[in-house]
Structures are given as structure tokens and as C-alpha cells.
Amino acid sequence: MFEAIHFQYFLGGLISLITITNPPSKIPLFISLTQGMSEERKRQQAKWAFIYAAAIMLVSLVGGNVLLAFFGISYGAMRIAGGLVVAAIGYQMLFGGNTPNKAPIVRRDREDYAFFPIAMPGIAGPGTIAVVIGFSTEIAELSDYIDMTIAFAWTALAIICATATSWFVMRYSDVISNRLGPSGTLVLGKLMGFLLICIGVQFVGSGIRTFIAGS
């Protein structure tokens, strides 16, 4: 049965992931790395970057709790740490000159950049993985197994949709770059930076409440 609270996992996850992956920031990275490639090769790079990034985030969603349990890290501690990381990335985007999750652009002889640096850390960087694991800890606290399963499904769909947004931007990076221009890309980056700070603060607040409740 559809319930609004379940859809919130999709909507909240989609907004958070699109904000932290910052698809417009992938335009200069993708254009620089694929310069000189054929159009077919560029399409292949964008497609496989999407597949790799989505797989990394889905594994983090499903296996995040196992990883935390292995290291003895509480849900509250993870949310606080993840929130601080996300807020720091947002601060860098808002006040710094660099975009997050952007790997140094180094030309190599082989023309395969789909996994590194486009998918990781370009799309699925440390901040993105922290957000996904944060979602995983929230879902794990649901008492009903059916609600937990539905929440995981909605969040997984949000991951796929958010990653598909980055694929779309990379696929049509030349057209989008010409339309937005440097100023438009910069403004979008600043806006997403502010939103990331808000998301990070929300994560920290939620983590503190969970940490206190569990102590």
C-alpha cells in the first residue's frame, strides 16, 4: 500500500543525492576527459559511469549497516560524522573556488575513465557514500520489516534516478555547457552548496538525538 511516509524516502533521497553529486559540476570533468573521443565512445563512458556509480551507492545502501556493525560504530555517530562531512563539502561549494568530488584531470594513454575518476570519486565520492549510509541507518531503525523493505526500495529508486541525472548531464554535456555558460554553472554550484549545508546540519541534529537516546 502506498503511503506518503514511504514516498518521503524517495523524495528526500533524490533531493539530497542530486544536491551532493552536483551534476553540473560533472560537465567540465567529463568534457576534459573525453576530449578527442568519438561520440559513441563518449556515450559509452557516460553509460558505464552511471552503472558503476549506481552500483557503488546501492552496495553502500545495503551493506552500510554491516560495515558499521563490523567497526562497532553507532548509527548516531555515523550520522553526526556524515553530516559534518556533507556540511564541509557544502561550505567548500558555497565559499570555495572548487567543486566537491572532483578528481584531478590527468590525461592518460588509455581512454577509459568511466570508473575512475568519473564514477568514483566524480559521482560516488566520500560525501555521497556518507549520505547513502546515513539513509541506511535511518531505514534500519524502522520497527516494521515491510516498512523497512519499502523504504529501501524507494531509496534505491532515488539512487538510480539521481545517478541517471548525472548520466543525462554527461551525455549532453556539450549542449548544456553552451546553454548555461560558466556563470550559470557557478550559480547552481553555490545554491547546491547552501542546500548541502542544510542537509548536513539536519544529519548532525538527527545523529545527536539518536546518539543521546542510545546512550
DSSP readout, 15-72?
A: HHHHHHH-GGGHHHHHHHHTTT--HHHHHHHHHHHHHHHHHHHHHHHHHHHHHHHHHT
Residue located via cell numbers 553502500:
60
pLDDT at 66 over 90: no
Q: Average pLDDT of 70-90? A: 85
Q: Which is higher by pLDDT, 33 or 194?
A: 194
Cα separation, 163 vs 167, in Å, equals 6
Which pLDDT does position 106 carry in this prediction?
45
Which pLDDT does position 19 carry in this prediction?
92
Cα separation, 87 vs 127, in Å, equals 9
Q: Are 13 and 90 in contact (CB under 8 A)?
A: no
Percent with pLDDT over 70 in the chain:
90
- Cβ–Cβ contacts within 10 Å for residue 84, how many? 16
Residues in the chain: 215
Which pLDDT does position 32 carry in this prediction?
77
CA distances from 163 to 51, 77, 200, 208 (A): 8, 27, 20, 29
DSSP code for 198: H
Which pLDDT does position 105 carry in this prediction?
45
DSSP code for 89: H
Domain spans of the chain?
Answer: 33-214
Q: Average pLDDT of 77-101? A: 78
Q: Which is higher by pLDDT, 209 or 1?
A: 209
Q: Average pLDDT of 158-167? A: 98
Model-level pTM? 0.78
Percent with pLDDT over 90 in the chain:
35
pLDDT at 108 over 60: no
String of DSSP letters for 123-190: IS-HHHHHHHHHHHHHHHT-S-HHHHHHHHHHHHHHHHHHHHHHHHHHHTHHHHHHHHHHHHHHHHHH
- What 3-state DSSP class applies to 80? helix
Which pLDDT does position 97 carry in this prediction?
59
N-to-C CA span, the chain? 35
Cα separation, 203 vs 79, in Å, equals 6
DSSP code for 108: -
